């Protein structure tokens, strides 16, 4: 296992329940500090989530899964998909599946394959970004206009949305939370309303390092999008009664952020699948496919905090989000991008390490002020929250500057 020399006497406190010893995967550039995906509506300031598992052989679960992908009988998996689709395909003019997305390369790819390769009739549904980028909005339009899809977009009460986004930053330093909530919860609720039994997301979350057992099933676990009762819900890290009593919000204001009702889902046959379980999913191929078939365009410039131009580019708050993961977990956007590309053989580990060293944690200045003005959070307050979010076991201040104690480029291989 690649591990930094860490004297136990020198052990610093770890925030967020993170492992106190930092270690990196020997194949990619991810560390054991990366939190696994977790039901967003259970996220509180004191939550402790599982993090990326790195085995005794020094290989992380995401890389291990990637190796296993070579042995997956993809032809048989596609047969499984065809059977599922044959069962649900409708030719009476109704929709037979839902593809959630905002017109990024993965949702474009999924919807297009389902409609034009497999003869399905998808309704695309969108929980729009907090603040569209111009090119992100253009990609969304192209998805519908060039790709050829019907779409339902859910536009929220802007006052509530700004408040919840600001509170998620203040309480959890999590600018992206309101987006994640809607992105996971909207489609199952619309499926119930419109009686559309199939939902297709793209890649399984396990590709990026959730428990590896989750890759053995095509269905998304209900715990991600269903609730049994309101008491288990936290939004922006706060329980519902606090949001209603202290901030004057009503249950109706919060409704669209909540997951679908567990009992209602149980009473129907709605299934949430990952298309990436059935078809081999490579982000770069999804990108080329979307360019060819739906007019998808990358950014004209490099995304702040990384070297790439086509991943998650439709929301102005995205750059902020990855900046906060860098502060909290020591992993910025270049770490995420490079790890994925190393696994797909588009980069060597050495190149990945160099890119992380160069770009990770770059201050997200391009859209920062605009986003903060929109959610009415002063810049000084944001910087103050960032300062407090750095876990002592990851960060040290030397001559007035923050430095990672154990960066990947200093890790022993």
Which residues would be at the binding site for Zn ion (CB under 5 A)? Answer: 25, 27-28, 60, 63
Size of the chain in residues: 413
CB atoms within 10 A of CB 310: 21
Nearer CB in complex with Zn ion: 29/186 = 29
What's the CA gap between 105 and 313, in Å, rounded? 10
Strand partners, 261: 227
Bridge-based pairing of strands 401-404 and 97-100 is unpaired
Shortest CB 292 distance to Zn ion, Å: 30
Nearer CB in complex with Zn ion: 311/335 = 335
Shortest CB 60 distance to Zn ion, Å: 3
Shortest CB 25 distance to Zn ion, Å: 3
Shortest CB 54 distance to Zn ion, Å: 7
CA dihedral of residues 207, 213, 215, 218 (deg, nearest 10): -150
For residue 136, give every residue at least 6 positions away whose Cβ sits within 8 Å of its Cβ, in sequence order, or none: 102, 103, 104, 129, 313, 314, 315
CB atoms within 10 A of CB 53: 18
Nearer CB in complex with Zn ion: 25/167 = 25
Shortest CB 55 distance to Zn ion, Å: 10
DSSP code of residue 187: H
Nearer CB in complex with Zn ion: 34/121 = 34
Round the CA-based radius of gyration of the chain to a whole number and report it: 21
What's the CA gap between 16 and 282, in Å, rounded? 31
Q: Which residue is nearest to Zn ion (CB)?
A: 25
Shortest CB 309 distance to Zn ion, Å: 23
CA dihedral of residues 391, 394, 398, 400 (deg, nearest 10): -40
What's the CA gap between 368 and 323, in Å, rounded? 11
Shortest CB 67 distance to Zn ion, Å: 10
Nearer CB in complex with Zn ion: 126/210 = 210
Task: Kindly state the greatest CA–CA separation across the chain.
Answer: 70
Nearer CB in complex with Zn ion: 25/111 = 25
Shortest CB 16 distance to Zn ion, Å: 21
Bridge-based pairing of strands 401-404 and 395-398 is antiparallel
* DSSP-assigned letters across all residues of 226-255: EES-GGG-EETTEEHHHHHHHH---HHHHG
What's the CA gap between 14 and 329, in Å, rounded? 10
Nearer CB in complex with Zn ion: 183/335 = 335
Nearer CB in complex with Zn ion: 63/377 = 63
């Amino acid at each position: 296992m690649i591990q930094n020399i860490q004297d136990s006497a020198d052990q610093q406190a770890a925030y967020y329940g993170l492992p106190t010893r930092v270690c990196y995967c020997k194949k990619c550039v991810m560390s054991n500090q990366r939190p696994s995906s977790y039901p967003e509506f259970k996220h509180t300031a004191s939550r402790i989530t599982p993090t990326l598992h790195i085995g005794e052989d020094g290989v992380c679960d995401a890389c291990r899964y990637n190796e296993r992908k070579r042995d997956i009988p993809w032809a048989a998996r596609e047969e499984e998909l065809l059977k599922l689709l044959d069962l649900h395909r409708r030719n009476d003019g109704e929709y037979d599946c839902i593809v959630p997305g905002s017109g990024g390369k993965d949702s474009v790819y999924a919807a297009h394959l389902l409609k034009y390769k497999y003869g399905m009739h998808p309704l695309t549904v969108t929980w729009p970004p907090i603040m569209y980028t111009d090119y992100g909005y253009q990609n969304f339009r192209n998805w519908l206009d060039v790709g050829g899809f019907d779409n339902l977009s859910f536009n929220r009460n802007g006052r509530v949305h700004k408040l919840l986004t600001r509170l998620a930053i203040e309480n959890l330093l999590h600018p992206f939370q309101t987006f994640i909530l809607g992105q996971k919860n909207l489609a199952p609720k619309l499926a119930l309303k419109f009686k559309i039994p199939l939902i297709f997301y793209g890649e399984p979350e396990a590709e990026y390092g959730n428990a590896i057992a989750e890759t053995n099933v095509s269905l998304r676990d209900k715990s991600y999008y269903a609730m049994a009762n309101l008491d288990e819900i936290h939004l922006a890290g706060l329980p519902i009664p606090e949001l209603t009593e202290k901030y004057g919000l009503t249950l109706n204001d919060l409704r669209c952020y909540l997951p679908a009702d567990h009992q209602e889902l149980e009473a129907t046959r709605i299934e949430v699948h990952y298309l990436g379980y059935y078809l081999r999913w490579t982000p770069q191929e999804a990108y080329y496919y979307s360019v060819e078939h739906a007019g998808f365009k990358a950014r004209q410039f490099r995304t702040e905090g990384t070297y790439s131009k086509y991943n998650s580019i439709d929301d102005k708050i995205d750059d902020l989000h990855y900046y906060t993961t860098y502060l909290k977990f020591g992993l910025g956007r270049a770490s995420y991008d490079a790890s994925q590309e190393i696994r797909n053989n588009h980069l060597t580990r050495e190149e990945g390490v160099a890119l992380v060293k160069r770009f990770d944690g770059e201050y997200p200045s391009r859209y920062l002020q605009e986003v903060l003005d929109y959610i009415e959070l002063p810049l000084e307050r944001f910087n103050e929250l960032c300062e407090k979010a750095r876990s002592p076991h990851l960060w040290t201040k030397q001559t007035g500057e923050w430095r990672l104690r154990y960066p990947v480029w200093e890790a022993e291989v």
